[in-house]
């Protein structure tokens, strides 16, 4: 994630997508606080709206409901 942020910038859609994916991994592992922080960061930095809406349907985030 840090490499993408440096190479593409924090506002680039690819950076937001990788941050989202890391949030999914953290949620899947039961790291609720880390997952929420990463997801917030992804949304704040340009996560496409269609992904943001589908986040609620993603089974990896079931533990966050």
Determine the Cα–Cα distance for residues 65 and 27; give it in Å rounded to an integer: 11
Under the phi-then-psi rule, with left for phi > 0, alpha for psi from -120 to 50, and beta for the rest, what region is 11?
Answer: alpha
What digits encode the pLDDT tens for the residues 25-42?
998 898 989 999 998 998
Q: Which two tokens stand for residue 58?
A: 């993603």
Dist. CA 12–CA 41, nearest whole Å: 12
Residue 15: predicted pLDDT = 86
* pLDDT for residue 28: 86
Q: How far, in Å, CA of 61 to CA of 44, rounded?
A: 18
């Amino acid at each position: 994630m840090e490499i993408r942020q440096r190479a593409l910038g924090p506002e680039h859609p690819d950076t937001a997508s990788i941050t989202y994916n890391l949030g999914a991994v953290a949620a899947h592992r039961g790291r609720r606080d880390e997952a929420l922080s990463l997801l917030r960061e992804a949304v704040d930095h340009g996560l496409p709206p269609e992904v943001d809406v589908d986040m609620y349907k993603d089974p990896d985030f079931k533990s966050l409901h």
